[in-house]
């Protein structure tokens, strides 16, 4: 106030000018209050609301991950039980030869290339066989695939390539990749 009195002698001003000076002072004070108290309060509030919203989304994602993890863990335990129920000495090669024999295409197997890979951070190995069948019918292929895919031994056909052998006889050549999990 002393500053105002020193440089601006209010006593010399008329009533209208005094109101203008007080009005400008109040306006300036109000602007300072808005700029340094009210505005930061609302900006902080908005930032907290955005943070809260982000945290809610993250929590929902974590719950989804937890559900997925539990489902995967259950599937892994079920797979472990199925692997343990297999016959002793189970091999993918012998299983495929036996399945081909049941369908009557054992003599049509031209090659079988087995491979095994160990999974990182796991006790399981993936056993894979690339198998070539020559001159079989579509019905024989369907029966063979059904026998492989529905067996309790957890065997899956991962890749399948079919080409025509002879147009007249309706025979096909098949290259397939079959795999299973081993403990």
pLDDT tens figures, 126-174: 899 999 999 898 899 999 999 999 988 888 999 999 998 766 678 899 9
- The predicted-structure confidence for 7-48, as pLDDT tens digits, reads as follows 666 677 788 888 888 899 899 999 998 888 888 988 999 999
pLDDT of residue 2: 59
Integer CA distances (angstroms), 1 to 5, 8, 30, 120, in order: 6, 10, 17, 77
Report yes or no: 153 and 86 within 8 Å, Cβ to Cβ. Answer: yes
- Mean per-residue pLDDT for 88-105? 90
- Report yes or no on whether pTM surpasses 0.75: no
- 161 contacts 176 by C-beta, under 8 angstroms: yes
- If one counts every other C-beta atom within 10 angstroms of the C-beta of residue 136, the result is 22
CATH number of 92-182: 3.30.70.60
- Shortest CA distance to 154 belongs to which of 72, 76, 83? 83
What pLDDT does residue 10 have? Answer: 66
Specify whether the CB–CB gap between 112 and 129 falls below 8 A. Answer: yes
- Please name which of 69, 70, 91, 73 lies closest in space to residue 81, comparing C-alpha atoms: 73
Helix (H) or strand (E) holding 173: strand 171-182
């Amino acid at each position: 106030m002393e500053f105002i009195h020193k440089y601006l002698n209010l006593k010399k001003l008329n009533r209208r000018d005094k109101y203008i000076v007080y009005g400008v002072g109040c306006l300036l004070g109000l602007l300072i209050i808005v700029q340094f108290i009210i505005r930061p309060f609302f900006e902080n509030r908005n930032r907290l609301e955005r943070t809260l919203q982000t945290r809610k989304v993250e929590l929902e994602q974590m719950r989804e991950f937890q559900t997925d993890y539990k489902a995967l863990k259950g599937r892994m335990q079920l797979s472990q039980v199925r692997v343990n129920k297999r016959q002793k000495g189970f091999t993918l090669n012998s299983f495929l030869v036996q399945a081909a024999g049941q369908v009557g295409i054992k003599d049509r197997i031209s090659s079988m290339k087995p491979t095994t890979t160990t999974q990182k951070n796991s006790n399981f190995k993936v056993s894979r066989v690339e198998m070539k069948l020559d001159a079989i019918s579509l019905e024989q292929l369907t029966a063979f695939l059904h026998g492989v895919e529905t067996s309790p031994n957890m065997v899956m056909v991962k890749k399948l390539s079919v080409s025509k052998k002879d147009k007249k006889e309706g025979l096909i050549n098949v290259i397939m990749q079959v795999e299973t999990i081993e403990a």
